[in-house]
Amino acid sequence: MSSAGEVEYPKKILEYMEGFLVSKTLFAACELGVFDFLLASERPMSAAQVAAGLGTDVDGMERLLSACAGLELLGTQTDRRVSNTDMSRMYLSRSSPRSLFHSVEYYSKTVYLCWNYLTDAVREGKNQYEKAFGLPSEDLFEALYRSDDEMIKFMQLMNSTWNVCGRDVMTAFDLSPFKTIYDLGGCSGALAKQCVRAYPQSSVTIFDLPKVVSTCREHFVSPTDERIFFHEGDFFKDLLPEADLYILARILHDWTDECCVELLSRVHQSCKPGGGVLLVEALLNEDNSGPLTAQLYSLNMLVQTEGRERKASEYSALLTTAGFANVEVQRTGKIYDAILARK
């Protein structure tokens, strides 16, 4: 407590100001391969050993490792040797099936650059791809997929996200009655894999742009992944095949309300009677009090897309406008929540 008339020490403000230092420390450690090197070493290593193995300056590596230890990303021995923690071993080494390495890489190389122009995004009310990358942003996914390399990075981001979060949202409702499922904008297929694992009697078709489907077949989904199929198309332009259930996972947050209703109306038209649509999004509280992650994601949507994060009531309104009924919401207690509506 501060005494009367004394202004409290601005700890939170200072922490927020320095937040980017934390992000950049994580980015650098991943980019340099620190967590992979320590995993391969199978024993604690000194800063000199890590620097020699990764070809860096010893003093610079010592500082980086010290900061990572302070962030509890590394464990330290009494002789100052370091090793991975359970968390970094699981989520930051590339070889882990639950690795978030590619998410970190995408944030470092793409998202972070866009956020340099957050002030402009707030002033102008539009995304900042043109300033960040010199590309017109009228066609959102032409900007996102501006090169084959960038498209793969984005798909790796989605792949790592659903490897960690996918099962929670796929099991938020009992989807076993839905046998024929279309994952619209299914990207890398990671969510489709989670779905067929949870529901062995169902099949999932990944519906996405031709170049995304081609890349998914080549890099992410193998012929041994049973009950996963592909359909090339643009969900705003092409006919959506009939199905029992359509999944829209982190899709609607990219678009304006008008575009969302247009897409949901197309889904409603193709959906079998008694079928439904499953939305997966980071939901804001109804009183706008949080969660902080969703609030920050909504700013990210401003910087990168045409859309926003929304409240459950706002998604319910979009669904009912498009013709859906019996809207149910399930909070998972994690980043992403699920909404199920029926035709």
- Catalytic positions, written as ranges: 253
SS3 string, the chain, reads: CCCCCCCCCCHHHHHHHCHHHHHHHHHHHHHHCHHHHHHHHCCCECHHHHHHHHCCCHHHHHHHHHHHHHCCCEEECCCCCEEECHHHHHHCCCCCCCCCHHHHHHHHHHHHHHHCCHHHHHHHCCCCHHHHHCCCCCCHHHHHCCCHHHHHHHHHHHHHHHHHHHHHHHCCCCCCCCCEEEEECCCCCHHHHHHHHHCCCCEEEEEECHHHHHHHHHHCCCCCCCCEEEEECCCCCCCCCCEEEEEEECCHHHCCHHHHHHHHHHHHHHEEEEEEEEEEECCECCCCCCCHHHHHHHHHHHHHCCCCCCEHHHHHHHHHHCCCEEEEEECCCCCCEEEEEEC
Name the residue among 249, 236, 243 with its Cα closest to residue 190: 249
Contact present, 272 and 242 (Cβ < 8 Å): yes
